[in-house]
Amino acid sequence: MKHLLKLLDLDRQEILDILDLADKLKYQTHHNIPHPILEGKTLGMIFQKASTRTRVSFETGMYQLGGYPLFLSANDLQIGRGEPVQDTARVLSRYLDGIMIRTFAQKEVEDLAAYGSIPVINGLTDFCHPCQVLADLLTIREKKDTFEGLKMCYIGDGNNMANSLIVGGLKVGMQVAAACPDDYQPDPEVMAFAKNDGNFSITNKPIEAAADADVLITDVWSSMGMEAEIEKRRIAFQGYQINDDIMAAAHTDAMVMHCLPAHRGEEITEKVFEAHASEIFDEAENRLHAQKAVMVKLMMPDAE
């Protein structure tokens, strides 16, 4: 693994290896066992969109690994004034040991990796959110001990989260049922990957997707960059909500996850959110551990 650009690029074993290392790093973190594996290394973190979790977990994670994170707001970089990503990639490769980027177009992340000579980590694009889904898989395995025989249900927009959950869930062997409105389907590349997998199903009826689910996941109706569509989407997504009816269709011990930020009363009710807050905030914490594992794998592959 040279980069983390999208989960489609990883095989099952690479995903499981990241999760195993994340478990180990989580244990060390919780027991105050120092693990300065990336001492002397630097990570540039480019943000073209807002972030709470991604920024703080990468920054803290890099510090805990003994390295140095640089927060690079796109507004302050020449990239924000039109310097091509191809040039930015080649310049930053001369200074840094790794780059994390959150942006709009997946192509920008792929170009950064293609033109640079250091590992690139996708911290969210319009297409996918691989770091989040690695943390989600870590959380599922932590709570359920296995992926075997488990059903994941995603309800909502066929967005970056849907794309990564479908790919990640199928790659580790889960059954994945998605419920998305007809006009808001997952990306065609993801559908092409999933459509021949007997573990995948998609419907526009949330209650059907939720039947016997072990894990229920949703995300905002309007992602970052879609602010102009908020009203239109609020209408299109009516009914695409994790609520008591959905919980009743799922297994009684079903867990609920949300990448956050959440809009209570839209994609999830306040009641369900608070009843599953421990899972949701464990999921948020696991961003830290999963990303530390990714950084070690990419920036110090022989460290373990």
Region binding ligand CP by CB under 6 A among candidate stretches 20-28, 46-54, 137-145, 266-274: 46-54
Q: Which of 287, 302, 301 is nearest to 59 (CA)?
A: 287
CB of 125 to ligand CP, least distance (A): 11
How far from the centroid of its chain's Cα atoms is residue 14's Cα? 16
75 belongs to the binding site for ligand CP (CB under 6 A): no
Structure tokens at 125: 């694009």
Q: Which residues 51-70 are close enough to bind ligand CP by CB under 6 A?
A: 51-54
Q: Which CB, 114 or 226, lies closer to ligand NVA?
A: 226
- Give every strand in the sheet of 120-122, ordered side by side: 68-73, 42-47, 98-102, 120-122
Shortest Cβ contact with ligand NVA: which residue? 223
The single-letter code of the amino acid at 174 is M
Q: Which residues 128-147 are close enough to bind ligand CP by CB under 6 A?
A: 132
Q: Which CB, 161 or 179, lies closer to ligand NVA?
A: 161
259 belongs to the binding site for ligand CP (CB under 6 A): yes
Given candidates 155, 259, 272, 293, which one binds ligand NVA under the rule CB under 6 A? 259
Structure tokens at 302: 């022989």
User: How far is the C-alpha of 177 from the C-alpha of 200, rounded, in Å?
Assistant: 6
CB of 53 to ligand CP, least distance (A): 4
Active-site hit among 106, 287, 289, 291: 287
User: How far is the C-alpha of 110 from the C-alpha of 166, rounded, in Å?
Assistant: 20
CB 139 within 8 A of CB 257: yes
Q: Which residues are catalytic?
A: 102, 129, 132, 219, 259, 287
